[in-house]
Amino acid sequence: MVWPIYKRLLVFVRPYLSQLFLAVFFMAVLSMTTMMYAFLSGPLVAAMITGGREGLGTFAKLFPFMADTFEKMPQEALTTWVPGILVVVATVKGVAFLGQHYLVRSLGQTVIVDLRNALFSKVLKLAPAYFDDNTTGDLMSRFTADVTQVETSVTEALADLVRNGLMVVGLVAQCFFLDFQLAAIAFCLVPLTALPVGQFMKYLRKQARAGQDSLGYSGTMLAEVLGGMRIVQAFGREPHELGKYKDEGAKYLKIMKRAIFARGVYSPIMEIAGVLGFAMLLVYATARIQSGDLEAAFLLSFLTTVLMVYQPVKQIGRVSNQILVGVAAAERIFEVMDAEETIKNKTATARLNGVDTGLHFKDVNFSYPGRDAVLSHINLEIQRGQVVALVGASGAGKSTLAALVPRFADPSTGSVFIDDIDITDLELANLRGLVSVVTQDTILFSGSVRDNIAYANPTASHAEIEAAAQAAYCSEFIAALPRGYETLIGERGVRLSGGQKQRLCVARAILAGSPILVLDEATSALDTESERMVQRALDNLMKGRTSLVIAHRLSTILHADQIVVMQDGRITERGTHQELLDKKGEYSKLYELQFQK
């Protein structure tokens, strides 16, 4: 299970393989020079000062060509050569260090950025329903905590794995080459460690996943509290929220401690197995030496090689840990990447340049997963240029119906048509270009007032933006802002009033200029003056468009061409304002309720 996920991660490294190999090369140079350093400053300095050349034996094994040269040199030559070479080696080592550090680290960051971009591009394609089931906070933690965990696992760990793996294979092969029997005894216990090590790795992976999930949950909580800080403070729930957050922290800590423990187990297991092998080797070798079958000097150099295997093996354990943790995090990233895109283009798509006859719901049924039907047998026609108003009690299904037009969701059965084309046959971008949406909550983005109005139409000229603002009754308050159109408005336009935000959203829809308008009027109570302005802005917005309007204030829709009353997901009445009043049904009840206030 680890490998397929890791393989998928490596896809993100593939474009940079040459960089990775260059890094491995620098790493190899780095360890070569580190070893050379030790030998140069030990045995060679000794040779240089005392003339004794005992230490050169081991040195000769590792760097035969250098040892040969040094061996032949007179002592005086050594006194000038050795210090010089030391400096050269230090310089090479420095360059190698910088090279591998820079390449590996920047590769890691590149992969992180690529991964985030891929994730973001995927998230943008997911239908709104996805975000009902997956919280913002958890998704954010996948973008941050999880992506970060992946970094070391695909870069440093990978490079280390390659480097140390090669080293182990080389050294073990060398041992077997030197003396097959000795090597067999030295390493016979290693395969036996696979079982306990494997178990701990599995455990570690589970804990790592639990840890990342817990971070995601903390993220969810944090995002909710930050978004609703006023409510938390107004109701005095700070201690409660803090308690919840601390509990999750404690849970995380417990998981992490287990993971840290599991990570620590590998090294001792390998060490004990190694020493056991080594001990057995000693017993066996001594016997062979006594029987005259083995030379002590040979045993010594064999043992040195065996001991050299330990270091890279330990490194491999360390990096496998990192890889496992990365894989656990990657799993969370790929869950998002694999989410089904429920709303997407069909293979053959139609295009429309405008609306000819209008919008038509034909026997539309809809239910949210696992819930009763929200819309039943909706048949509704909106002629081009007409305004159809939807009214009805809260929860009747009005917003749900409206959401079908831009395909935020698709009907369970039945279809929505523009002219004679089923909207699911339209190219999604084409459809959404035909429809402007003003939702129940006013959504503005960080940026200037201008950016927000021009959101759907970034190339709009200043005159067009001003005209839209004018039509939406925004010009006056925008002029009063400190920097006019360039004023930055916060994450959700915090520095604007509710009515001002609504009108900005209307200006945005006006500028978008799409032929079809879906307007889910905000419920927030506005004072009469503000309401009147929003109303005028909306009237301007509907002008010349085919509009489906959900009205909470009936004043909005007195002049609608058709008013449709919804109850429990069905259309129960339809007609003009006067017709419906005369009918004395649901609509007239709603109307009386509002105007009695």
Ligand X SMILES: Nc1ncnc2c1ncn2[C@@H]1O[C@H](COP(=O)(O)OP(=O)(O)OP(=O)(O)O)[C@@H](O)[C@H]1O
Nearer to ligand X, 128 or 198 (CB): 128
The correct pick among 152, 315, 400, 442 for binding ligand X (CB under 6 A) is 400
The one of Mg ion, ligand X, none whose footprint includes residue 43, by CB under 5 to 8 A per kind, is none
- Which residue has tokens 């403070």? 233
The least distance separating Mg ion from the CB of residue 508, rounded to whole angstroms, comes to 20
The least distance separating ligand X from the CB of residue 404, rounded to whole angstroms, comes to 10
Query: Which residues does residue 350 pair with via DSSP β-bridges, in sequence order?
Result: 426
439 binds Mg ion (CB under 5 A): no
The least distance separating ligand X from the CB of residue 501, rounded to whole angstroms, comes to 18
The one of ligand X, Mg ion, none whose footprint includes residue 7, by CB under 5 to 8 A per kind, is none
The least distance separating Mg ion from the CB of residue 550, rounded to whole angstroms, comes to 6
Nearer to ligand X, 277 or 392 (CB): 392
588 binds Mg ion (CB under 5 A): no
The correct pick among 398, 407, 450, 503 for binding ligand X (CB under 6 A) is 398
The one of ligand X, Mg ion, none whose footprint includes residue 491, by CB under 5 to 8 A per kind, is none
Q: In one letter, which amino acid is 461?
A: S
The least distance separating Mg ion from the CB of residue 568, rounded to whole angstroms, comes to 14
Helix, strand, coil percentages for the chain (3-state, nearest 5)? 65, 10, 20
Nearer to ligand X, 132 or 238 (CB): 132
The one of ligand X, Mg ion, none whose footprint includes residue 21, by CB under 5 to 8 A per kind, is none
Q: Stretches 112-120, 395-403, 421-429, 579-587: which one binds ligand X (CB under 6 A)?
A: 395-403
Other Cβ atoms closer than 10 A to 230 = 8
The answer to whether 489 and 444 have CB atoms below 8 angstroms apart is yes
- Distance CA(476)–CA(480), nearest Å, equals 7
The correct pick among 132, 335, 539, 592 for binding ligand X (CB under 6 A) is 132
Task: Output the CA–CA distances (angstroms, integers) from residue 46 to 52, 79, 85, 298, in the order listed.
Answer: 7, 11, 15, 24
Nearer to Mg ion, 357 or 399 (CB): 399
Nearer to Mg ion, 305 or 440 (CB): 440
The one of Mg ion, ligand X, none whose footprint includes residue 132, by CB under 5 to 8 A per kind, is ligand X
DSSP string, 477-504: HHHHSTTGGG-EE-TT-TTS-HHHHHHH
The least distance separating ligand X from the CB of residue 394, rounded to whole angstroms, comes to 3
- Which residue has tokens 């804990």? 207
133 binds ligand X (CB under 6 A): no
Tokens of 205: 């992976």
Nearest-5° Cα angle at 25, 100 to 306: 105
Footprint of ligand X on 332-391 (CB under 6 A) = 368, 371, 374
The least distance separating ligand X from the CB of residue 570, rounded to whole angstroms, comes to 12
Footprint of Mg ion on 389-408 (CB under 5 A) = 399
593 binds ligand X (CB under 6 A): no
- Which residue has tokens 């089931």? 133
Q: Judging by DSSP bridges, how do beta strands 546-550 and 387-392 pair with one another? A: parallel
> x-or-dash pattern for ligand X, window 463-502, by CB under 6 A?
----------------------------------------
The least distance separating ligand X from the CB of residue 480, rounded to whole angstroms, comes to 32
The least distance separating ligand X from the CB of residue 569, rounded to whole angstroms, comes to 7
Q: In one letter, which amino acid is 42?
A: G
Footprint of ligand X on 432-451 (CB under 6 A) = 440
Count residues contacting ligand X (CB under 6 A)?
13
Footprint of ligand X on 142-181 (CB under 6 A) = none
Residue of minimal Cβ distance to Mg ion = 399
Q: Stretches 221-229, 270-278, 394-402, 571-579: which one binds ligand X (CB under 6 A)?
A: 394-402
Tokens of 546: 């085919």
Nearer to ligand X, 112 or 374 (CB): 374
The one of ligand X, Mg ion, none whose footprint includes residue 395, by CB under 5 to 8 A per kind, is ligand X
Nearer to Mg ion, 265 or 550 (CB): 550
The correct pick among 305, 345, 399, 524 for binding ligand X (CB under 6 A) is 399
The one of ligand X, Mg ion, none whose footprint includes residue 72, by CB under 5 to 8 A per kind, is none
Task: Output the CA–CA distances (angstroms, integers) from residue 332 to 205, 224, 303, 328, in the order listed.
Answer: 12, 21, 45, 7
The least distance separating ligand X from the CB of residue 370, rounded to whole angstroms, comes to 8
The least distance separating ligand X from the CB of residue 133, rounded to whole angstroms, comes to 9
The least distance separating Mg ion from the CB of residue 20, rounded to whole angstroms, comes to 52
The least distance separating ligand X from the CB of residue 371, rounded to whole angstroms, comes to 5
The least distance separating ligand X from the CB of residue 565, rounded to whole angstroms, comes to 11
Tokens of 5: 């996920």
**Between the CA atoms of 576, 580, 583 and 587, what dihedral angle is there, to the nearest 10 degrees?**
170
- Distance CA(314)–CA(497), nearest Å, equals 62
Q: Is 472 exposed, middle or buried (0-12, 13-18, 19+ CB in 10 A)?
A: buried
Nearer to ligand X, 400 or 514 (CB): 400
Question: How would you classify residue 358: left for phi > 0, otherwise alpha for psi between -120 and 50, otherwise beta?
Answer: left
The correct pick among 395, 484, 490, 544 for binding ligand X (CB under 6 A) is 395
518 binds ligand X (CB under 6 A): no
Q: What are phi and psi of 528, to 5 degrees?
A: -55, -40
Nearer to Mg ion, 399 or 588 (CB): 399
Q: In one letter, which amino acid is 510?
A: I
The answer to whether 309 and 100 have CB atoms below 8 angstroms apart is no
Half-sphere exposure of residue 263: CA atoms within 13 angstroms, side-chain side:
18
Tokens of 406: 């831009």
Task: Output the CA–CA distances (angstroms, integers) from residue 510 to 453, 456, 464, 469, 526, in the order listed.
Answer: 9, 10, 10, 8, 21
Helix (H) or strand (E) holding 380: strand 373-383
Which residues have a Cβ under 8 Å from the Cβ of 92 and sit 6 or more positions away?
Answer: 29, 33
The one of Mg ion, ligand X, none whose footprint includes residue 363, by CB under 5 to 8 A per kind, is none
- Distance CA(566)–CA(579), nearest Å, equals 16
Among the residues of 382-485, which ranges form H helices? 398-403, 428-434, 449-453, 462-471, 475-480
Which residues have a Cβ under 8 Å from the Cβ of 473 and sit 6 or more positions away?
Answer: 503, 533, 534, 536, 537
Helix (H) or strand (E) holding 313: helix 296-337
93 binds ligand X (CB under 6 A): no
Can you give the binding site for ligand X, defined by CB under 6 A? 132, 368, 371, 374, 392, 394-400, 440
Can you give the binding site for Mg ion, defined by CB under 5 A? 399
